[in-house]
Structure 1
Amino acid sequence: MPSPVPRMKEAASLAPLPAADRMTAVSGALARFIAEAALRPGDRLPTERALMESLAVGRSTVREVLRQFQARGIVETRGGSGTVLKRALSADAIHLPLTIDTGALRDRLVQTLEVRRGLEIEASAVAAHRAGPDDIARMEARLDAMEAVHLEKGTAGREDLAFHLSIYDAAHNPLFRQLLEQIREAFEGFFDKPFDRPDFARRSFPFHRELFDAIRSRNAELARDRTRAILAIVAEDIEAMSA
């Protein structure tokens, strides 16, 4: 059955955005539009093209914002129906991507690492209990890709993130992924510097395969230990790099 046409207040509108900080601006504009248009679960959002034209942004920006909304359980994509609202949303209820204002690179890295440690150690243990065959296959494919890039280039920042995201997904608790999405933009910028350095966290590379093996064998304590070892090496390299 086709989704109903969105119920929109006359005051609801979308307007072009300034060039700066477009991801945050698009997220906020879309959240406000959903609230002002009084959209309800099951209502369709404007199409990607409509969002691009109304907000004067590119397709990649729109798709990334919609992907973030989907990861947070706010919208879903349905074949033939476009993007549909999953839950009601007020204008100030959306949690926008976090930013870190600390000027020193070392401090920013340490802050994000502290959050990662709290999330990833437990997510790895939960994944060891809950991962199904499809999760294991996806995780292994991401690990293989990470290892291939690492062996070729000496570093694999984005592939490393993809591997860890597959662990979050294998935990089957959407809050892990949603929380990571909140901080993702805060550390993605580090992939160009310093995560492009071939010596950064190189010593942690073998532990990723051991972490995967622990999850596959459903050894939650070993999964915690291997995750802790990976992050400890990253912390040591941050300190050494900042000395």
Structure 2
Amino acid sequence: MKHTDARAALMPLPPADRAQQVTAALADYIQRSNLVPGDRLPAERELMAALAVGRSTIREVIRHFQALGVVEARKGSGTYLLRAISGTTIHMPLSLETTHLRDVLLKTLEVRRGIEAEAGMVAARMRTAQDLTVIEEKLDEMERVHLSKGTSGPEDLAFHLAIYDATHNPLFKQLLEQMREAFERFWDKPFDRPDFARRSFPFHRTLFNAIAAQDPEAARTETLKILAIVEEDIKEMSK
């Protein structure tokens, strides 16, 4: 373990694109300080003061690093480096250079279709009894909210994230983390329509049933049914 006073200095950042700047600054700091897996990162308050950013920004960046498998937060102990990185190797979020929501959603859907269809198949093969319990809990909550409000954006996303977890392949979550902003647009009432993709609601239960039955092909089929409705709604609602 290295001493804090031997580490490189962290400098305040200008007020623009704070999360990306903090991501790059922290990755560069890790490299310049020669931190190795097992070393502890500066405390949250120290990072806030050194980089002149708020707690929410620091936590967003740490969450991003956790999703990428770079750091590990240990309750009551701190945040520790799991693998060495630098400003040139840390992955920045992927984004599309377009202002048209329709184009963003359709292009992102092409990627989402490949990732989620495969994730459903892998989850069906690899899921444990505990995974199944978590997925069903997320599905039950999604159905409860959907039936009471007619929409269930965050709960729908949580259901899909639970399926990613059930693959036991961290690369699925890391890919999602790279495209989080683009992916989350699907659950953020696109086109100001709370009924977006509402018709896909029943297929979430049949997707769960396929994963429970450990039937990869059925899981793929049900996932594609959901995403086909998403595509239809993008095209219809953006006319």
Q: TM-score range by the shorter chain?
A: over 0.9
Say whether the 8 Å CA contact 1:74–1:86 is kept in structure 2. yes
Say whether the 8 Å CA contact 1:17–1:25 is kept in structure 2. yes
Q: 1:193 to 1:205 in 2, by over 3 A?
A: closer
Matches of 1:90 and 1:146, distance apart in 2:
39
Matches of 1:215 and 1:62, distance apart in 2:
36
* Residue identity opposite 2:216 in structure 1: A
Q: 1:191 to 1:57 in 2, by over 3 A?
A: farther
RMSD: 1.7
1:111-126 equivalences in 2 (<5 Å): 111-126=107-122
Q: 1:41 aligns with which of 37, 44, 62?
A: 37
Structure 1 residue 191, shift from structure 2 partner? 4.1
Question: Is the aligned partner of 1:225 residue 2:221?
Answer: yes
Structure 1 residue 9, shift from structure 2 partner? 5.7
Alignment TM-score, normalising by the size of structure 2 = 0.94
Structure 1 residue 207, shift from structure 2 partner? 0.2
SS in 1 for 2:190: coil
Question: Is the aligned partner of 1:234 residue 2:199?
Answer: no
After TM superposition, where is structure 1 displaced by more than 6 Å over at least 4 residues in a row? none
Q: Match of 2:16? A: 20
SS in 2 for 1:230: helix
Q: 2:143 aligns with which of 140, 144, 147?
A: 147
Say whether the 8 Å CA contact 1:71–1:181 is kept in structure 2. yes
Structure 1 residue 202, shift from structure 2 partner? 0.8
Q: Match of 1:50? A: 46
Q: Match of 2:2? A: 5
> Comparing 167-176 with 80-89, which one deviates more in the overlay?
80-89
Gaps of 5+ in 1: none
Question: Is the aligned partner of 1:89 residue 2:98?
Answer: no
Q: 1:19 to 1:137 in 2, by over 3 A?
A: farther
* Residue identity opposite 1:78 in structure 2: R
1:36-185 equivalences in 2 (<5 Å): 36-185=32-181
Say whether the 8 Å CA contact 1:157–1:196 is kept in structure 2. no
* Residue identity opposite 1:19 in structure 2: P
**Aligned length in residues:** 239
SS in 2 for 1:77: strand
Structure 1 residue 51, shift from structure 2 partner? 1.2
Q: Match of 1:188? A: 184
Matches of 2:48 and 2:142, distance apart in 1:
33
Q: 1:233 to 1:204 in 2, by over 3 A?
A: same
Q: 1:219 to 1:172 in 2, by over 3 A?
A: same
Say whether the 8 Å CA contact 1:6–1:39 is kept in structure 2. no
SS in 1 for 2:179: helix
Structure 1 residue 27, shift from structure 2 partner? 1.1
Gaps of 5+ in 2: none
Say whether the 8 Å CA contact 2:13–2:52 is kept in structure 1. yes
Matches of 2:232 and 2:238, distance apart in 1:
10
* Residue identity opposite 1:5 in structure 2: K
Structure 1 residue 152, shift from structure 2 partner? 2.2
Alignment TM-score, normalising by the size of structure 1 = 0.92
